[in-house]
Amino acid sequence: MRIVTVVGNRPQFVKAAAVSRPLRERHDEVLIHTGQHHDDALSAVFFRELDLPAPDHELRLGGGTNLAQTARMLTELEALLGAARADGPVDAVLVYGDTNTTLAASLVAADLGVPLAHVEAGMRSFDRRMPEERNRVVCDHLSTLLLVPTPTATANLTREGLGDKVVDVGDVVTDVTLHVHPRARERAGAWLGARDLAPGGYLLATAHRAGNVDDPARLTALVGVLEACATPERPLVLPVHPRTAARLREHGLEERLRAAPGVRLLDPVGPLDFATLLVGAAGVLTDSGGVQKEAYLAGVPCVTLRDTTEWTETVDAGWNVLVDLDAGAARAALDRPVPAERPPLYGDGRAGERVVAALERAFGGA
């Protein structure tokens, strides 16, 4: 089999790390990196620390509006996929998640008549205001093979009339987490101590969603939530996404946040350092989809700064609470009792192998 894989941002690098290795053991993979995240802090360090093969083609297509970025990707990916087909048959295009990269690759594959396989298919927040929701819905309806992480995703796709394309492979992020989290726990004491942090004695926060950081009123409310949850006794650590950093500076909120008692702003961190911060945290505040799930896998209570989530199982299990940007609700959620049970919702760490097996069955591999 010959597969063209298209990735572009941090969560996709993590997911591809679970699949590319078993895929390349038996088949050919052409890896295209659109550069949606392209600097060292958001890209190169993930390839190094997760042992992800270097991309065959690396573009620099980050920045701009969602539409402008997707338009640039369409042109470049059409040329690259055309060139790949000129070198030999392409059995499928493989995409991950819900980004502009995913949308662009899906549209190009459909237009060129190449089968499309979607890892992490079927996730739904049912909030069409989110570009991620629109992207994943379009991708699913263009796909030939829908590789889902959970029974909930299967049910979502079945309701949309796509059940005959579904294969439940489990969650590829679990594969990577089971590899990275033990390393993170081993180094946590010394690594955190060097930064004057104690395991269980701080909160970890992430924020990057356009709906939270691009609107000045919501960004101000976000800053208020972080200020309200941080104390000198239980500091709040925020690795600042470049998008968020730019908006904080633009709206004059960076210095306010830096001056807040207990708030510590960090530059973006790589996957191992982030996992170390995560496994040592008393709780997580985030607007990321992936971090909600990573927190669950780490056994860390999560507070989601949105009013919807695609990872509904974490809420049902009591490990995640949706508070939007309500500071009082966030503080209450952080102080809630930790559930006694944490069922294995996201697979057994072999999802990458199941993805490859499903690709082989669908597209004629050995």
Residues taking part in catalysis:
208
CA-CA distances (angstroms) from residue 98 to 2, 54, 115, 118? 23, 22, 18, 10
Tell me which residue of 8, 7, 15, 100 sits closest to 294, measured CA to CA.
Answer: 15
Tell me which residue of 304, 270, 362, 361 sits closest to 49, measured CA to CA.
Answer: 270
Written as six digits, the tokens of 198 are: 């104690």
Strands (DSSP E) contained in 257-329 are 263-266, 283-286, 302-304, 320-322
Neighbouring residues of 87: CB distance < 8 A, sequence distance ≥ 6: none
3-state SS class at 4: strand
C-alpha torsion 40→43→44→50, nearest 10: 140
What single string gives the DSSP state of each residue in 313-349? HHHHTTSEEE-TT-HHHHHHHHTSPPPS----TT--S
CA-CA distances (angstroms) from residue 84 to 57, 79, 87, 112? 11, 9, 5, 12
Give backbone dihedrals phi and psi of 11, rounded to 5 degrees, phi first. Answer: -60, -35
Angle at alpha carbon of residue 266, lines to 277 and 326, rounded to 5°? 80
Helix (H) or strand (E) holding 94: strand 92-96
Of the CA atoms within 13 Å of residue 326, those in its CB half-sphere come to 12
- Walk across the sheet containing 263-266 and list its strands: 263-266, 236-239, 203-206, 283-286, 302-304, 320-322
Residue written as token pair 């659109």: 34
Q: Which amino acid makes up residue 272?
A: L
